[in-house]
């Protein structure tokens, strides 16, 4: 693998509270990596460390083998670029905001061509170039911030929730821009987002963060408890519709667990040792643009579970939204998350 960013044994703390603890992370050149995880899981912190804006308490972050946090390596920092979570514009016109990064890289003279192109990439027409920073709606500001990064054509672009307050049309626009950046300029992208389907759609790989650690698996089906003791070896979490999800008692009394369902079943519960089941209703069935595997969202009371359906698109034929189905899982295969 041609690694462009490498992180080793990185620890980060705020006022002594550990926030991030990453053993090993490599980002391949020209890949698109997604970063998913609940609020406060450390996505923003991880992006700040990767882009060299913050320094880790311990461990190393290197960009093409050069250390990103040494400020003398300013040229390295200029090849990395971060879109912060909070869109922020300098008190200037949109034009000058987008031109800023070009100018500090020595760009002189008429930059209008680049700037209009960047605006177009994020779906704003060029009349926006003349607006002042405070004459924009929330989503427009967000997109201008993104345009200010795209225009720099960095080697590696990190986006922190680029679609947070952006309309659906623009989210598609941004998707196109991201793919174009990778295709045309060989840009490596790392994107944090809560917009899971959008993320799934464009990423080669998704990294799941939880409490500052990288999880080995996806965690769509997280149960945060509370857990009650069922018997000596089993605990259970009661869903709002009265059903119970069982799990093997964890070593330490942790809060959350990931359930993985083996399959969706249109027939009733099975009677097999070590296999439990839940009843639910299919909410939606979606096919990713890329992946051929359809996914179903099944709701059991308030809780929603996501299940990859076995087989290809044709396999989805027998299911429809509104249908009542059974989900199977093994209490032993539940993964407990460290607090």
Partner 1 sequence: MDFIVAGIVKAFQLLLQGDRETYSAVLATVQVSSLSMSVSLLIGIPLGYCLGYADFPGRRSIRTVVDTMLSLPTVFIGLLVYAFISNRGPLGEYGLLFTLSGIAVGQAILALPIVIALTATAVESLDRPLRLTLLSLGASGRQVFLTSIWEARLGLLVAAVTATGRVLTEVGISMMVGGNIKWHTRTITTAIALETNKGQFATGIALGLVLLAIAFAVNLSLSFLRRRA
Ligand X SMILES: Nc1ncnc2c1ncn2[C@@H]1O[C@H](COP(=O)(O)OP(=O)(O)OP(=O)(O)O)[C@@H](O)[C@H]1O
CB atoms within 10 A of CB 143: 29
Stretch that binds Mg ion, among 35-43, 198-206, 291-299, 323-331 (CB under 5 A): 35-43
Q: Which of 138, 115, 139 is nearest to 127 (CA)?
A: 115
d(CA 338, CA 280): 28
Q: Is 140 in the site for ligand X (CB under 6 A)?
A: yes
Q: Is 325 in the site for a copy of itself (CB under 8 A)?
A: no
Q: Are 339 and 263 in contact (CB under 8 A)?
A: no
Report the residue from 29, 153, 194, 308 that binds a copy of itself according to the rule CB under 8 A.
194
CB-wise, 29 or 336, nearer to a copy of itself?
336
CB-wise, 86 or 228, nearer to a copy of itself?
86
Q: Are 31 and 205 in contact (CB under 8 A)?
A: yes
Tokens 């996505």, residue? 43
Report the residue from 1, 16, 39, 232 that binds ligand X according to the rule CB under 6 A.
39
Q: Is 56 in the site for ligand X (CB under 6 A)?
A: no
> Does residue 265 sit in helix, strand or coil?
strand
Which contacts of 38-44 are long-range, i.e. CB under 8 A and separated by 24 or more positions?
Answer: 38/210, 38/222, 41/209, 41/210, 41/211, 41/212, 42/12, 42/209, 42/211, 42/212, 43/160, 43/192, 43/209, 44/84, 44/85, 44/160, 44/192
Q: Which of 152, 155, 151, 138 is nearest to 89 (CA)?
A: 138
**Partner that binds at residue 37, options ligand X, partner 1, Mg ion, none, CB closer than 5 to 8 Å by kind:** ligand X
Q: Is 24 in the site for a copy of itself (CB under 8 A)?
A: no
Distances (CA, A) of 201 to 100, 191, 215, 304: 31, 12, 20, 20
Report the residue from 138, 268, 301, 321 that binds Mg ion according to the rule CB under 5 A.
138
d(CA 191, CA 159): 5
Q: Is 277 in the site for Mg ion (CB under 5 A)?
A: no
Where on the phi/psi map is residue 71: left (φ > 0), alpha (ψ -120 to 50), or beta?
Answer: alpha
d(CA 241, CA 217): 27
Q: What phi and psi values does residue 151 have, to the nearest 5 degrees?
A: -65, -20
Give the contact letters, 80-119, x = binds to Mg ion (CB under 5 A), - = no: -----x----------------------------------
Q: Is 39 in the site for a copy of itself (CB under 8 A)?
A: yes
Q: Which residue is nearest to ligand X (CB)?
A: 139
CB-wise, 140 or 155, nearer to ligand X?
140
d(CA 248, CA 233): 6
Report the residue from 172, 238, 308, 328 that binds a copy of itself according to the rule CB under 8 A.
172
Q: Which of 113, 93, 104, 87 is nearest to 165 (CA)?
A: 87
Q: Is 164 in the site for a copy of itself (CB under 8 A)?
A: yes
d(CA 214, CA 78): 27
Q: Are 115 and 98 in contact (CB under 8 A)?
A: yes
Judged by CB under 5 A, the number of residues near Mg ion is: 5
Q: Is 267 in the site for a copy of itself (CB under 8 A)?
A: no
Q: Is 44 in the site for ligand X (CB under 6 A)?
A: yes
CB-wise, 212 or 331, nearer to ligand X?
212
Q: How far is the CB of 193 from partner 1 (least distance, A)?
A: 17
Q: How far apart are the first and last CA of the chain?
A: 33
- Binding residues vs partner 1 (CB under 8 A): 48, 51-53, 71, 74, 77-84, 86, 88, 90-91, 100-101, 104-105, 134, 148-149, 152, 154
Give the contact letters, 196-235, x = binds to a copy of itself (CB under 8 A), - = no: x-------------------------x-x-----------
Binding-site ranges for ligand X (CB under 6 A): 14-15, 19, 37, 39-45, 85, 134-140, 165
Please give the residue ranges that form the binding site for Mg ion (CB under 5 A): 43-44, 85, 137-138
User: Can you give the binding site for a copy of itself, defined by CB under 8 A?
Assistant: 14-15, 37-40, 43-44, 85-86, 135-140, 143, 160-161, 164-170, 172, 176, 194, 196, 222, 224, 282-287, 289, 292, 294, 299, 302, 304, 312-314, 316-317, 319-323
């Amino acid at each position: 693998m041609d690694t462009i960013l490498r992180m080793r044994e990185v620890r980060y703390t705020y006022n002594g509270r550990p926030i991030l603890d990453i053993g090993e992370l490599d980002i391949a050149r020209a890949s698109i990596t997604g970063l998913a995880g609940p609020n406060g899981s450390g996505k923003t912190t991880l992006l700040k460390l990767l882009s060299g804006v913050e320094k880790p308490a311990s461990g190393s972050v290197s960009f093409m083998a050069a250390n990103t946090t040494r400020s003398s390596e300013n040229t390295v920092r200029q090849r990395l670029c971060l879109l912060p979570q909070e869109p922020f514009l300098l008190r200037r016109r949109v034009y000058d905001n987008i031109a800023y990064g070009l100018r500090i890289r020595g760009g002189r003279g008429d930059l209008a061509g680049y700037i209009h192109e960047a605006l177009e990439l994020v779906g704003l027409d060029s009349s926006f170039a003349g607006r002042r920073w405070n004459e924009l709606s929330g989503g427009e500001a967000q997109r201008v911030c993104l345009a200010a990064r795209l225009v720099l054509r960095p080697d590696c672009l990190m986006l922190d929730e680029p679609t947070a307050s952006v309309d659906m049309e623009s989210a598609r626009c941004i998707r196109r821009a991201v793919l174009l950046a990778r295709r045309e300029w060989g840009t490596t992208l790392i994107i944090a987002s809560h917009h899971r389907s959008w993320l799934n759609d464009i990423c080669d790989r998704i990294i799941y963060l939880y409490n500052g650690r990288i999880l080995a698996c996806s965690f769509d089906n997280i149960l945060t408890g509370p857990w009650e003791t069922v018997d000596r070896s089993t605990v259970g979490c009661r869903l709002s519709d009265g059903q119970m999800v069982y799990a093997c008692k964890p070593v330490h009394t942790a809060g959350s667990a990931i359930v993985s369902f083996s399959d969706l079943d249109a027939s009733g519960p099975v009677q097999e040792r070590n296999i439990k089941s839940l009843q639910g209703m299919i909410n939606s069935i979606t096919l990713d643009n890329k992946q051929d595997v359809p996914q179903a969202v099944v709701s059991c009371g308030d809780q929603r579970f996501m299940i990859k359906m076995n087989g290809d698109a044709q396999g989805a034929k027998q299911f429809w939204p509104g249908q009542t189905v059974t989900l199977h899982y093994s209490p032993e295969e539940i993964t407990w998350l460290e607090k």
